[in-house]
């Protein structure tokens, strides 16, 4: 077997890619998995049986219908996309972010977003050859409007991302600050497309979707992952047809497979079940916040998502201790200086939340 020559890899693969690490997903086998903001609830047994029968009728020998008209129409109706707006589908919202980066990758173009924020904004920008500008949040993780406007004026970004609520902090940015950024990006300070990322909308119950028609430079991006369908990998972006027609040109053909489409259509027929699950998680979030706030040395930040951001005296040590007790959470302390000693935990079932609390309390006392 011939060995791969390092010199050949160096010649072929970009320097910045070789210097990167791959997106790491830890092995959660045998652990209580609270690191990935998943909905812990399955569909009820009767619906799972019905879905199984539905999937059994899917023609796996045929390519998907590229336009996915039926699914797009269902999403527009169920998610109350305003009249005159359209929807584009992606293999998760990650692919939509990649499409946006690819479509906007003119020489010298930049992407701008508050930091800490979702890592794929910067990664997708880098993959497409775009510059990335991160504007630090305030110490309390609120949006720094003045710093954002100054960075917009200086860098003239092609795309601005605003996560609503933000990941990994969990908070909703101030609506007036966001509106000021949208208006400034519509020619007053720069000419930029603003993408409001509402991945956690089922838990926030606030949205910019109704205001799409108010701003010609606004897109609203969502995923069905947090709603309880992470395994089917479906994201969508809503906005003016003029924008989506351009993004559609860089969308990979057949990017939404037939099983994903069939499962999503079925789930949207029973969206009340998913909405009820989201309501249970919102209630559990309040219970978990109350329990954590009672612990000495623990700061719990406000969250409108299905996770909580915590600050503890020694984040790395507490993470390791919790993991040793078979509970997997996320150590975000190295993501950004503002997140020093911070941990992120997914809100789950009462049983899994109790397991986490038991492990967390014990870890604080070790």
Bridge-based pairing of strands 342-346 and 110-115 is: unpaired
Looking at the predicted structure, is the pLDDT value of residue 228 above 90? no
Tell me the pLDDT of the chain averaged across its residues: 95
In angstroms, the CA 171 to CA 173 distance is 6
Looking at the predicted structure, is the pLDDT value of residue 178 above 90? yes
294 phi, psi to nearest 5 deg = -80, -10
pLDDT in tens, 53-81: 999 999 999 999 878 999 999 999 999 99
Give the model's confidence band at 148: pLDDT under 50 very low, under 70 low, under 90 confident, else very high. very high
Topology (CATH level 3) of domain 7-45+272-365: 3.90.1150
C-alpha separations of 294 from 275, 290, 325 in Å:
29, 7, 21
CATH of domain 63-269: 3.40.640.10
Please report the pLDDT score of residue 158 as a whole number: 98
Q: What percent of the chain has pLDDT over 70?
A: 100
Give the model's confidence band at 90: pLDDT under 50 very low, under 70 low, under 90 confident, else very high. very high
pLDDT in tens, 124-135: 999 999 999 999
In angstroms, the CA 118 to CA 248 distance is 23
Please report the pLDDT score of residue 25 as a whole number: 81
What is the mean predicted confidence (pLDDT) over 242-270? Answer: 96
In angstroms, the CA 68 to CA 51 distance is 19
- Among residues 141, 99, 182, 104, the alpha carbon closest in space to that of 310 is found at 141
- Among residues 218, 96, 237, 114, the alpha carbon closest in space to that of 173 is found at 114
Please report the pLDDT score of residue 23 as a whole number: 79
SS (H, E, C) 242-270: HHHHHHHCCCCCCCCCHHHHHHHHHHHHC
236 phi, psi to nearest 5 deg = -150, 155
- Among residues 230, 226, 162, 234, the alpha carbon closest in space to that of 197 is found at 162
165 phi, psi to nearest 5 deg = -75, 165
What is the mean predicted confidence (pLDDT) over 199-214? Answer: 96
Phi-psi region of 100 (alpha: psi -120 to 50; beta: other; left: phi over 0): alpha
- Among residues 27, 98, 36, 49, the alpha carbon closest in space to that of 231 is found at 36
pLDDT in tens, 277-299: 999 999 999 999 999 999 999 99
> Hunting for tokens 């060995």 — which residue is that?
3
In the chain, list all ranges with CATH 3.90.1150.10.
7-45+272-365
pLDDT in tens, 327-354: 999 999 999 999 999 999 999 999 999 9
Give the model's confidence band at 24: pLDDT under 50 very low, under 70 low, under 90 confident, else very high. confident
In the chain, list all ranges with CATH 3.40.640.10.
63-269
Tell me if residue 23 falls in helix, strand or coil.
coil
DSSP annotation of 186? B
In angstroms, the CA 216 to CA 194 distance is 9
- Among residues 112, 148, 114, 110, the alpha carbon closest in space to that of 128 is found at 110
């Amino acid at each position: 077997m011939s060995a791969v020559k390092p010199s050949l890899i160096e010649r072929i693969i970009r320097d910045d890619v070789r210097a990167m690490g791959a997106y790491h997903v830890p092995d959660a086998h045998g652990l209580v998995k609270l690191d990935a903001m998943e909905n812990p609830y399955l569909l009820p047994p009767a619906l799972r049986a019905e879905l199984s029968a539905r999937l059994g009728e899917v023609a796996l020998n045929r390519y998907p219908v590229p336009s996915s008209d039926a699914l797009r129409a269902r999403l527009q109706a169920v998610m109350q996309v305003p009249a005159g707006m359209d929807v584009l589908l992606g293999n998760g919202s990650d692919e939509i972010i990649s499409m946006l980066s690819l479509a906007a990758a003119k020489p010298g173009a930049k992407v701008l977003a508050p930091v800490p924020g979702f890592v794929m904004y910067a990664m997708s920008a880098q993959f497409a050859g775009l510059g990335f500008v991160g504007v630090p949040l305030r110490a309390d993780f609120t949006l720094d409007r003045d710093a954002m406007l100054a960075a917009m004026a200086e860098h003239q970004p092609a795309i601005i991302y605003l996560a609503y609520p933000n990941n990994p902090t969990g908070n909703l940015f101030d609506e007036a600050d966001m509106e000021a950024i949208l208006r400034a990006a519509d020619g007053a300070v720069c000419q930029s497309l603003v993408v409001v990322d509402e991945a956690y909308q089922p838990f926030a119950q606030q949205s910019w979707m109704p205001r799409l028609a108010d701003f010609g430079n606004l897109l609203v991006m969502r995923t069905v992952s947090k709603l309880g369908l992470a395994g089917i990998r479906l994201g969508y972006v809503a906005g003016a047809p003029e924008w989506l027609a351009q993004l559609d040109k860089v969308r990979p053909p057949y990017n939404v497979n037939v099983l994903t489409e069939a499962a999503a259509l079925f789930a949207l027929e029973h969206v009340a079940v998913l909405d009820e699950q989201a309501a249970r998680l919102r209630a559990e979030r309040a219970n978990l916040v109350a329990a954590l706030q009672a612990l000495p040395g623990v700061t719990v930040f406000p969250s409108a998502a299905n996770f909580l951001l915590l600050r503890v005296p020694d984040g790395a040590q507490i993470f390791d201790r919790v993991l040793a007790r078979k509970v997997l959470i996320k150590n975000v302390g190295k993501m950004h200086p503002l997140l020093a000693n911070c941990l992120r935990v997914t809100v789950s079932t009462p049983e899994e939340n109790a397991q986490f609390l038991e492990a967390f309390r014990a870890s604080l006392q070790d």
